[in-house]
Amino acid sequence: MRRPAFPLTLAALALAGCASLQSSDSFLGFITPYRVEVVQGNVLTKEQVAAVKPGMTKAQVRDLLGSPLLADVFHADRWDYIFTIRRQGAEPQQRSVVARFKGDLLERIEAPELPTEREFVDSISTTKAPSTPRVLALTDEQRKALPVPARPEPSAADAAPAGAVRTYPPLEPQ
């Protein structure tokens, strides 16, 4: 009678181990499974929302912010712009912006504190920034400290053209 209980216990422990692997971020502490990056909705930045002004038409708002994620038939005066992103190595983000219309004209826009474009790119970037920024231009002192390149002496071979000199007819009649 004890023999059937042992395989059942072993199977239950194996299944419990599989469930714990699904909830963990890494397997054996060093193998991390691939996670799909999920981006939904419209990325709206502070600059984009600042360009939208009350009195604009729905077409103008759509040109600036893109198509809304939610445009309900029963609430035609409300557009919802919802944005979510989950990226491995970065904090998940979720924002909701609501545009309210009166007829075809924008009445107001309800938005939380939005990041600038630069702040948004920095928040989703998983690469580490260098500790010291690279300098792409020399200062005047550094330019003066550079050695002056030597000018090559013109030789006789460089002065006279080698071979026959061709003449071409003019492209346009004169």
Output the domain CATH number for residue 90. Answer: 3.30.1450
How do the pLDDT tens digits run along the chain, 174 residues long?
Answer: 456 677 777 776 666 655 544 445 656 667 777 778 888 888 888 999 999 999 999 999 999 999 998 888 888 899 999 998 888 777 888 999 999 999 899 999 998 889 988 888 888 877 766 677 788 899 999 999 999 888 888 776 666 666 777 788 888 877
Pairwise CA distance, residues 94 & 150, whole Å: 61
List the domain range (segments joined by +) for residue 117: 35-124
Q: 65 in a domain, yes or no?
A: yes
Q: 118 in a domain, yes or no?
A: yes
Give this prediction's pTM: 0.54
pLDDT of residue 33: 76
Q: How many separate domains does the chain show?
A: 1
Q: 140 in a domain, yes or no?
A: no
Q: 78 in a domain, yes or no?
A: yes
Residue 97's CB: how many other CB atoms inside 10 A? Answer: 23
pLDDT of residue 25: 60
Pairwise CA distance, residues 95 & 124, whole Å: 14
* 3 state DSSP class of 87: coil
Q: 76 in a domain, yes or no?
A: yes
pLDDT of residue 18: 55
Q: 50 in a domain, yes or no?
A: yes
Q: 152 in a domain, yes or no?
A: no
